[in-house]
Amino acid sequence: MSSEASAARAADRMAGVEPVPGVPKPDPILKASGVRRSFGGLTAVDVEHLEVQRGTITALIGPNGAGKSTLFNLLTGFDRVDAGEWSFEGRRLNGLGGHRVARQGMVRTFQLTKALTRLTVLDNMLLAAPGQVGERFFGALYPPAWRRQEAVQRERAMDLLRRFKLDAKKDDLAGSLSGGQRKLLEMARSLMVDPSMVMLDEPMAGVNPALVQSLLGHITALRDEGMTVLFVEHDMDVIMGISDWIVVLAQGRVIAEGRPEDIRSDERVIDAYLGTRHDEPGGDGEAARGAEEEA
User: Which of left, alpha, beta for 138 (phi over 0: left; psi -120 to 50: alpha)?
Assistant: alpha
Under 8 Å between Cβ of 69 and 76: no
Q: CB-wise, 138 or 210, nearer to other proteins?
A: 138
Q: CB-wise, 147 or 289, nearer to other proteins?
A: 147
* Alpha-carbon span 101 to 84, nearest angstrom: 16
Under 8 Å between Cβ of 248 and 269: yes
Query: Least distance in Å: CB of 176 to other proteins?
Result: 6
Where does residue 225 rank: exposed (0-12), middle (13-18), buried (19+ CB within 10 A)? exposed
Q: CB-wise, 92 or 277, nearer to other proteins?
A: 92
Return the half-sphere exposure (C-beta side, CA atoms, 13 A cut-off) of residue 71.
Answer: 35
H/E run at residue 260: helix 260-264
What single DSSP character describes residue 186? Answer: H
Query: Least distance in Å: CB of 77 to other proteins?
Result: 8
Query: Least distance in Å: CB of 144 to other proteins?
Result: 12
* Alpha-carbon span 295 to 256, nearest angstrom: 37
Query: Least distance in Å: CB of 74 to other proteins?
Result: 14
Q: CB-wise, 116 or 211, nearer to other proteins?
A: 116
Query: Least distance in Å: CB of 35 to other proteins?
Result: 19
Give the distance between the most distant pair of CA atoms in the chain: 79
Residues that bind other proteins (CB under 8 A): 76, 78, 97-100, 102-103, 107-110, 114-119, 123-124, 126-128, 130, 132-137, 139-141, 143, 146, 150, 173, 175-176, 189-190, 192-193
Query: Least distance in Å: CB of 248 to other proteins?
Result: 25
Q: CB-wise, 126 or 255, nearer to other proteins?
A: 126
Q: CB-wise, 136 or 162, nearer to other proteins?
A: 136
Q: CB-wise, 101 or 248, nearer to other proteins?
A: 101
* Alpha-carbon span 253 to 44, nearest angstrom: 9
Q: Which residues contact 191 (CB under 8 A, 6 or more apart)?
A: 160, 198, 222
* Alpha-carbon span 199 to 227, nearest angstrom: 11
**Helix, strand, coil percentages for the chain (3-state, nearest 5):** 45, 20, 35
Query: Least distance in Å: CB of 234 to other proteins?
Result: 21
